[in-house]
Amino acid sequence: MNRWLDRGITLLLLALLGWAGWSILHWLLVGADWSVVTTNLPLYAVGSFPADQRWRPLLWMAALITLTLLTLTGPKRGWVRRWLPLVWIAMAPLGLWLLAGGLGLLPVGTRSWGGLTLTLLLTGGSGALALPLGILLALGRRSELPVLRWSSAAYIELMRAVPLIAVLFFGQLLIPLFLPPGLEINRVLRAVVAFALFAAAYIAEDVRGGLQAIPPTQREAAAVLGLSPRQVLQLVVLPQALRVALPSLTNQAVGLLQNTSLMAILGLVELLGISRSLLANPAFIGRYLEVYLWLAAVYWLACSAMALLARHLEVQLDPARSAS
């Protein structure tokens, strides 16, 4: 009886899969026209960056890919390993310099930034701002000082109550209103700030979860060695808490990358934004499926790479494994 049901389900699923496979194959062979992707690869990669300067964003992305591969498959010990973290940290300022120019490079306005480069820069920039802010908020929420505790909690809960698109929209709209007249900050920076303010609230909750997982005896053991409260936090509690929080922080990071796509609604031409403008081009009218599949593949690859890197970091930080 049960076996027959099992076989029935298998058959039904196989039939469905077969039908789906056939339709996809048919579309790929007859319907699909990939010229909307193949002829616009530079646009997807770097947006409308000046053609003679394209090597700059491309160089940055090549460096990122090399670094990812090196981290995942490179030697496990030795000087390469030791320098990797520093090189990773240096990637953000490097990207900013290569894109914006200055210091010997031709300046390029943020209006010309776009494509995957902009997506990665938005992710990296806002992540780098959000992490420290989130840690501070988590510590604030667990502080013994009521004023600090209440204000952190209020900020976190308020931010978590509103949708991201609203925060981004009002970031574009309101940040200039709250700044002194005459002080202008550009659209990309505004987006990064709004993203960071939003993500920090979620990161704070993950870090708080990590902090809660560290038994109070660890603080005691550190305190009786004469470490100052600040050293206890910095050397004993935080490293452990962040390690506990790492899996959920990874999810946040992947979420951040995906959410940069919301900037398309607000008019930035990151990966999704550039695709929308391409689809509005009469030459590529109606080529939705090709573009969306292509984008899904790119996002999927980027997200998977990030998840792999985070998993790698987890293993590296696991004391039981890294010891020989």
Residue 130 or 272 with smaller CB distance to other proteins: 272
Residue 91 or 175 with smaller CB distance to other proteins: 175
Least Å distance, CB 46 to other proteins, is 20
Using CB under 8 A, which of 141, 190, 208, 243 touches other proteins?
Answer: 243
Q: Residues 48 to 87: which contact other proteins by CB under 8 A? A: none
Cα 172 from Cα 190, distance rounded (Å): 6
Least Å distance, CB 217 to other proteins, is 5
Least Å distance, CB 316 to other proteins, is 12
Q: Residues 166 to 185: which contact other proteins by CB under 8 A? A: 166, 169-170, 173-174, 176-181
Residue 248 as a binder of other proteins (CB under 8 A): the answer is: no
Q: Residues 132 to 161: which contact other proteins by CB under 8 A? A: 144-148, 151, 158, 161
Closest CA to 37 of 299, 290, 289, 319: 290
Size of the site for other proteins (CB under 8 A): 69
Q: Where does this chain touch other proteins (CB under 8 A) — which range of 50-58, 61-69, 70-78, 212-220?
A: 212-220
Residue 223 as a binder of other proteins (CB under 8 A): the answer is: yes
* Beta carbons within 10 angstroms of residue 182's beta carbon: 5
Residue partners of 116: CB distance under 8 A and separation at least 6 = 44, 45, 46, 61, 270, 271, 298, 302
| Phi, psi of 216, deg, nearest 5 | -60, -20
Cα 259 from Cα 121, distance rounded (Å): 13
Q: Where does this chain touch other proteins (CB under 8 A) — which range of 102-110, 120-128, 189-197, 213-221?
A: 213-221
Instruction: List the end-to-end C-alpha distance of the chain, in Å, as a whole number.
Output: 52
Residue partners of 189: CB distance under 8 A and separation at least 6 = 110
3-state secondary structure of 96: helix
3-state secondary structure of 22: helix
The phi-psi region of residue 49 (left if phi > 0; otherwise alpha if psi is between -120 and 50; otherwise beta) is beta
Q: Residues 257 to 296: which contact other proteins by CB under 8 A? A: 258-259, 261-262, 264-265, 272, 288-289, 292, 295-296
Q: Which amino acid is at 188?
A: V
Residue 30 as a binder of other proteins (CB under 8 A): the answer is: no
Residue 195 as a binder of other proteins (CB under 8 A): the answer is: no
Q: Which residue has the tokens 């990358």?
A: 257
Closest CA to 192 of 254, 263, 98: 263
Q: Where does this chain touch other proteins (CB under 8 A) — which range of 73-81, 99-107, 187-195, 297-305?
A: 297-305
Residue 239 as a binder of other proteins (CB under 8 A): the answer is: yes
| Phi, psi of 102, deg, nearest 5 | 85, 175
Tokens of 284: 């590529």
Residue 59 or 289 with smaller CB distance to other proteins: 289
Residue 191 as a binder of other proteins (CB under 8 A): the answer is: no
Q: Are 308 and 281 in contact (CB under 8 A)?
A: no
Binding site for other proteins (CB under 8 A): 2, 6, 9-10, 13-14, 17, 144-148, 151, 158, 161-166, 169-170, 173-174, 176-181, 217-218, 220-228, 231, 235-236, 239-240, 243, 254, 258-259, 261-262, 264-265, 272, 288-289, 292, 295-296, 299-300, 303-304, 307, 317, 319-320, 323
